[in-house]
Amino acid sequence: MSEEPKDEEKIKALKKEWLTPDGSKGKAFLKTMMSVLEKVYPSLATAGLDITKELGKWEQLLNKSGKSMYLPYMLKHLRETTIRVELFQKAMTGFFYAGIILITLSSSVSFLGIDLISMIRNLWNNIVSIVP
């Protein structure tokens, strides 16, 4: 950050322009940044053209990433992800306890030697014999 208040305001304005949903201001900011770097480092003058040409080829990707870097979209996706993680955690906890109960029932049936098929058959026969 700069010590000059004018420069500080310019930097804040450029940062504010960077956060646009279409990313068009981001390209202008990048070109401005490259022009400043070319003044400081003259050897970047030739590299700047190559970088600009390469960025033109990546324009579609930059537009998508510019939209995804828009702060309200990022916060919306973070909120949606947090809600999904909480729901997934609750579902997994429920399935875990259901699995523990089923394992316990299966182990107790096996350990006690209970014949479930004959019990169900006898119960069914008793129900059928009661109902006319």
Contact 30, 19 (CB under 8 A): no
The pair of three-digit structure tokens given for residue 112, joined into one six-digit string: 């006690």
Q: What is the pLDDT along the chain (132 residues), one digit of tens a residue?
A: 445 566 677 767 666 655 555 556 666 767 777 777 778 777 776 776 676 677 666 666 666 666 666 777 778 888 999 999 999 999 999 999 999 999 999 898 888 888 888 888 999 998 888 876
Domains of the chain, residue spans: 1-69
Q: What is the pTM of this model?
A: 0.38
